[in-house]
Every structure is written in structure tokens, then in C-alpha cells.
Amino acid sequence: MKFTRRVFGGRTITSLYMWGALGLILLVALFTAIAVYGEYRSFDIESQKLRQKYIDEQKERIVFDTDRVLHFIRSEYEKRHGTIDDRLLQSQITNAIEELYGRPDGTGYIFIYAFDGTCLSDPIQRHNVGKNLYEFRDHGGVQVIKELIDVSRRPEGGFVQYTWVKPTTGRPSPKISYARSFAPWGWMVGTGVYLDEVEKVIARQREELWQKSLATVGKIVLLLGILFIVGLLGVRWLNGIIRREVESFNRYFERAAKDHILIDEDRIHLQEFRAMARTINEMLTQIHRRKAKLKELNTSLEEKVAEQTEDLRERNRLLSEQKEFSDALLRAQDSFIHQAIHEINTPLAVIMTHIELFKMRYGGNRYLAKIEAATKMIANIYDDLSYMVKKNRFEYTRSRIELAPFLRERVRFFQEIAQGNGLSIVEELDVGIFVEFSDVELQRIVDNNLSNAIKYARNGSAIEILLRRESGGPILEFCTHSRQPISDPRKIFEAFHREDGESDGFGLGLQIVRSICEKNRVKVEVESSEKRTIFRYRFGREVSDARTAA
């Protein structure tokens, strides 16, 4: 109410109309910006698809060319092997390939290398023939010939991306090649395509997409402009109706102040104002009657008290309604948070499932490994948020858990994330150690410690997980080679605290760990120096068998 009085108090309908028009302008500008951004995003996505499609087509072509050459080599070998000297046969085959394959612009040629890295055929850079290029590296450090030989030995061959001198320009250009082996002679046979040609084609297609996107944005802006004008005229029309209705009320009130005159409801057009007029007429009638009664009875003190009591009841009723509204708002907020977390889980599960399917079908690569590692880190953050929402509303059931297998399973989950960050995970786990614990809460302890270890461990180092049995109970330690010591071990368990201020996450992980440990009476110790950081958890007691856990 105070806010409403501050914003609207003392203003005229015309001024409110102007503010409404300004708000409408801002709304149209917002929708225009959203439309432009949407078109830009769509344009960018389509450009990426075009690029990938073109590269895939080029890959299919160089695979086809390589397979066709291998078929020729294999056919000649089967027909003529043993009838003439192998060196003569190899020379005739390479000469025929150099004459038959390649393009007028000097690209698309076939190259042949022995498995030891010796160049046997290169129709463009003939000075390389006879040289051993096994150790050759391009500008990016890629050991080109070695990697081509390695992938050629796979059953289906493989691709290598590197930098090579382009014949038409004489300058190093990005290139992707496909290679397969001919085992009887120990040959690596391959061909490739220069990616700068891909970029030229993509640039032309991007320009076409950009023109289409501009046309679409223009249509959207035109449509929003029309809607804005129509809305502005509608607001102005409604403003005129409301202003005339209000002026009618003002005139009636001025006359009612002098005499008992009721509002003519037939002259009021809006239903809401008619209801207001009816209420005002009833109020004016009651006031008139009360005035008459007051004049006759001289208004006793009891009547004043009754009026104040009624006013107090009305206030209490309003407070009760406000409380009910607040409670409903909290319930709606709680439902929204639950629903939002559930909606995050579904696409996250789809992403992780399709990553596994992709790896099963096509194998892994460093880019897919990065995507999988990032997805798993998001999954860990999601589990933290899910636990934060549920912990005060849900009682987690404890069960008898053997720590060593549980820890190994969580290490497998984080193994690829660690490898992607240049780290390794080393386990030293005593077997046969059982504790009574909720598997959900135990996973939060382990996952958040592994996640933090991966974030803050020195590159190239090992993360150590130690589990041992002592007289006081099981002890679990997470040890890392620190990039820098923890400045204040007490603050790292506070909500939203991040040690270096730059790492990913919300800073909730260790706060969740502390709350779980306090709940389950697990003692937490932190040691940090220039060389090592250790998080130690003392579980207090070990569960020896199922009956003890029960």
C-alpha cells in the first residue's frame, strides 16, 4: 500500500496514461530486442550446421577417394604379385596413382608413406619423396605423419587434422586427411581436403542466411510496430472512457457534499464503476440515515465504540487475508523450485545418455570428453541443489554401506573429469569397512570433495583417496597437491564461499558437507600448506554387521 501511494499518489489519469505509454514503448523495445537476439542465435546455429554438413560431405569424399585407391592397389597386387619384382610393381602403381588422381588446382592428391615414415609418393611436393618425415610436426605441434600412420592401422582407418602447405597459395593452411593402410607392403595411403576452402563456402552460405535473418527481423519489427500503434490507440481510448467515468463521479461527489443526491447508475457504462456507484449510493444513503439518527439521538459513546470495534475487525480480516495470501505465495514458490529442479534433471539425463550412445557408436575424443566432464560437473551441482531443497522436508533413510566399493564407484564417475583437467586419481582403500549412513548424504560428501579436489589440484598431479581403519573408527582422507594453501579453512565451509573467486559452482558444496557431517556426528579436519591439502573425515564408529546397523 505504501509503495502504491508513493508511485500513484497525487498523479492524474493523463500522467498515468503517459507512464503507461512509456511502459508500452519499453515493452515493444524489449520484444524487438528478444526477436533480434533470437534471429541472431538461429542464424549462428544454422551457420554451424552448414559448416558441419559441408565438412561431413568432404570427409565422405576423401574416404571414398582413399578406398577407391586402396581397391586399385589391392587389385593390382592380387593380379601381379609374384609375376614381377615388388619394387617395380610398387613403382608402377604409385606412378599410375599420381597420374589418375588429383585435381587441376593441386588439391585432392593421394599421398603414400611407409610405416617407418618414409615418403613413397607425393605428386605435389616431390622433394619429400624418399625422406623420412615420421618426426615432422606442423605449426601446432601435431606429429602429422606419425598420427596418420597410427590411425591408418585401425580397421576402418581414421582422420587427422593438422596444418600443411597448400599448393595453390604456398602458405600453411588447416587440413583434414583420411588414411588407411595396405598391410602387405606396410603402406599408409591417404588424401585430404583444405579447410580454408570450407570456410569460403560457409562464408557464402552465412551471407545468404544473414540476409534471410535481416528480412525476418524486419518483418518482426514491423509487426511489433503495428501492435504498438494499435495498443497505444487502445490505451488512449480506454483512458478517455475511464476519465469521463471518473469525472462523473467527481461531479456527483461535489453535489453529494451539499445535499443527499445519489449517483445515476444508468449514466455509468463500465461494470466495475457501476458496482462502485451502487456501493457509494448505499454508503451515501447510510450516511444520510446516520446523520438523521445522530441528530435525533445525539450519537452515544457506545455507538462510537461499536464503530471502532467494527473497524478493528475489518483490519483483522485484512491481516488474515494477507497472511493467507503470503502462505499461498510460499507454497507456490516451493512448488516452483521443485518443478524447476525436476525440469533440469530431464535434459541433463538426456545429454548424458546421448554422450554414452555416441561413445558406444563412434568412440570418444577430447572434445566429447570435455563435454562429458562439464555435464558431470553440472550433474553434481544439480545434486547439491536438489539436496538443499529436500533436506528440511525429507528424512533420508540410513543403511549399511561398505565404503570401499562406494568410493570406487564415485571415482569412476569423476575419472574422465580428472583426466580432462590433467589429473589422476589414486585409491588406497581398506576393504570390509562398513558405516551406517544415507547413501544420498554420503554421495554428497564424496562428490563435493572430489569436485573441489579437481578444481584446486595442481595440474599434472594425483588426487589421493585414503580409507583406513583406526581404533576410533573409519577415517576417510582426500589429499591434493595444492596450487596454493587455503587462506582460512573455517570460511570454506560457509555458504557461497569460493576460495579463489573464479572457480565454477555456487560455493554450496562444502557448506552441504558440513551440515551433513554435523547431522551424522562426523568430525571434519582440514590441513593445508604450500605442498598439500588434506580433508579428513572421522566417522566415529564402524558398523560390524547387519544386526548392529539395525
| Whether residue 206 has pLDDT greater than 80 | no
pLDDT of residue 548: 43
DSSP secondary structure string for all residues of 339-385:
HHHHHHHHHHHHHHHHHHHHHHHH---HHHHHHHHHHHHHHHHHHHH
The pLDDT of residue 339 is above 70: no
Tell which wins on pLDDT, 247 or 407.
Answer: 407
Asked if the model's pLDDT at residue 514 lies above 80, the reply is yes
pLDDT tens-digit profile of 164-201?
988 888 888 899 999 999 999 999 999 998 888 667 77
Mean pLDDT of the 107-125 span: 89
Instruction: Provide the mean pLDDT of the chain.
Output: 78
Q: Is residue 268 within 8 Å of residue 245, measured between CB atoms?
A: yes
**Mean pLDDT on 19-45:** 73
Could you read off the pLDDT of 244-289 as tens digits, one per residue? 777 766 776 666 656 667 777 676 766 777 777 778 777 767 776 7
Query: What pLDDT, on a 0 to 100 scale, did the predictor assign at position 340?
Result: 55
| Neighbour order of strands in the sheet with 172-182 | 119-121, 111-114, 187-194, 172-182, 158-165
Task: Return the amino acid letter for 548.
Answer: T
- pTM for the model stands at 0.38
Please provide residue 466's backbone torsions phi and psi, each rounded to the nearest 5 degrees: -115, 130
- CA angle, residues 480, 481, 483, in degrees to nearest 5: 115
Confidence at residue 150, expressed as pLDDT on a 0 to 100 scale? 95
**What does the alpha-carbon distance between residue 443 and residue 437 come to, in Å, rounded to a whole number?**
10
pLDDT for 38 equals: 73
Give the best-scoring range by mean pLDDT among 39-48, 108-117, 194-203.
108-117
- Cell numbers for 187, please give them: 603402406
Which long-range contacts does 230-234 make (Cβ < 8 Å, 24+ apart)? 231/24, 232/21, 232/24
Query: Would you state the pLDDT for residue 420?
Result: 84
Q: Which residue's entry shows cell 534471429?
A: 39
Query: Phi and psi at residue 402, in whole multiples of 5°?
Result: -85, 125
The predicted structure's pLDDT at residue 119: 95
The x, y and z cell numbers of residue 528, run together, are 593445508
More confident position, 26 or 467: 467
8 Å CB contact between 401 and 546 = no
- Cα–Cα distance for residue pair 392/395, rounded to 1 Å: 8
Residue range 410-430: mean pLDDT, rounded: 91
In this structure, the strands spanning 532-538 and 473-481 are antiparallel
Domains located in the chain, CATH noted? 11-259 (3.30.450.20), 394-549 (3.30.565.10)
Could you tell me the pLDDT band of residue 467, with boundaries at 50, 70 and 90? very high
Q: Are 480 and 527 within 8 A, CB to CB?
A: no
Specify the pLDDT at position 53. Answer: 86
Asked if residue 392 has pLDDT above 50, the reply is yes
pLDDT at 475: 94
What is the pLDDT, as a whole number, of residue 533?
A: 92
Give the tens place of pLDDT for each residue, 288-331: 677 667 667 665 655 665 677 687 788 778 777 776 765 665 46
The four Cα atoms 484, 419, 148, 51 give a dihedral, to 10 degrees, of -90
The overall longest dimension of the chain from CA atoms, in Å, is 139
Separation CA 346–CA 393 (nearest Å): 22
Report the pLDDT value the prediction gives residue 429, as an integer from 0 to 100: 94
Assess whether pLDDT exceeds 60 at residue 122: yes
- SS3 state of residue 397: coil
Cell of 533: 591439502
pLDDT at 428 over 60: yes
Tell me the HSE value of 202 on the side-chain side, using a 13 A CA sphere.
Answer: 20
Task: Give the rounded percent of residues in the chain with a pLDDT score beyond 70.
Answer: 70
Confidence (pLDDT) at 334: 55
